[in-house]
Structure 1
Amino acid sequence: MRHRIESSFSRQGFLTLLGARLLSVAPGEVSLAVTLRPEFSQQHGAGHAGISFTLGDVAAGYAALTLMEPGVEVMTSEMKIHLLRPAVGEELVAKGFVLKAGRRLIVTRADVFARRGPDEVLIATLLGTMVPVAPELS
């Protein structure tokens, strides 16, 4: 399972551009991180919400993929984000979870934390739906 996620993760050009790292993979759960760089900031100096959304969406999607049969991929159908605090820290960590996996819809959640030293502060929560797709459609 981890090899499948790592293989897919390595083919995502946008994640490579961001410098995202895969931290952990377990059935229905995936964590990843990105170092907050100055070019990821918004006008107030905090990390841009687009980075938080991307990390949460990807963590949730890969959490869903861990529960799919080989040869089945997933895509985001919809995703909502609640921005709770500014993204201030050294890195962002997203933890994705499957809440319910059905045949046609997989309901997911992701929590995004700003890490500063050993401390993690919850900055965003995402709730979304993934759909299984054939690899040629993904």
Structure 2
Amino acid sequence: MESNELFSIGQHALAAQSFSRLLGTKLMVFQPGEVVLELPVHEKLLQQNGFVHGGVLSYAADNALTFVGGSVLGPNVLTSEYKINYLRPAIGEKLVARGTVVYAGKLQAVCRCDVLVIKDGGEETLCATAQGTIVTIASEKSETGC
């Protein structure tokens, strides 16, 4: 599969996620073993101290992990488990989630994601890191025999 075709598939998958559309998430890189997602930070995503809410960081990590796992396993994947470490408060204008594949077999992939916040026009700060297991699932079509 060509890089442009894979990127198009990734864009279509992201557009099909209503929560991702609500947050304004954009797919910047989608190729085998690598994904970059970006999402703008605005007031409604902040917690009481003015930091990006941990749930938003967790969403970004989980989505990047699943996308990057899908880049090597195919489109029918789910997160089986993941762990996230919050390292610093996220204060800035944009979140960037960079996912990579650590190991991929036929049915599962172990993936890693760093979540950074961008502020002051380009300064990057690592604010969370995550690792997860992404697994293939049977499509509904094959489960029903149709």
Q: Under a length normalisation based on structure 1, what TM-score does the superposition of the two structures give?
A: 0.93
1:98 aligned to 2:98? no
Deviations along 1:89-118, one digit per CA (max 9) or x if unpaired, are: 111000011110112221010000010111
Q: Deviations over 1:15-48 (max 9, x none)?
A: 0010111111121111011111101001101000
Q: Which aligned runs of 4 or more in structure 1 are off by greater than 2 angstroms?
A: none
**Which structure has more helix as a fraction of its residues?**
2
Residue from 28, 37, 46 that aligns with 2:42: 37
| 1:42 match: secondary structure | coil
User: How many equivalent pairs are there?
Assistant: 135
Amino acid aligned to 1:28: G
Where do 5+ consecutive residues of structure 2 fail to align? 1-5
Aligned-partner SS, 2:72? coil
The corresponding residue for 1:130 is: 134
Amino acid at match of 2:130: L
Residue 73 of structure 1 corresponds to: 76
Q: Could you tell me which residue of structure 2 aligns to residue 118 of structure 1?
A: 122
Work out whether residues 100 and 112 of structure 2, in 8 Å CA contact, stay in contact via their aligned partners in 1: yes
Which sits farther off after the overlay, 74-83 or 98-107? Answer: 98-107
Alignment partner, residue 3 of structure 2: none
The alignment yields a C-alpha RMSD, in angstroms, of 1.2
SS in 2 for 1:87: coil
Name the aligned partner's letter for residue 138 of structure 2: A
If you compute each CA radius of gyration, which structure gives the higher value, 1 or 2?
A: 2
One-letter amino acid of the counterpart of residue 122, structure 1: L
Letter in 2 for 1:89: G
Q: 2:10 aligns with which of 5, 13, 29?
A: 5
Matched, 1:57 2:54: no
SS at match of 1:103: coil
Percent identity reads: 38
Runs of 5+ consecutive residues of structure 1 not aligned to the other structure: none
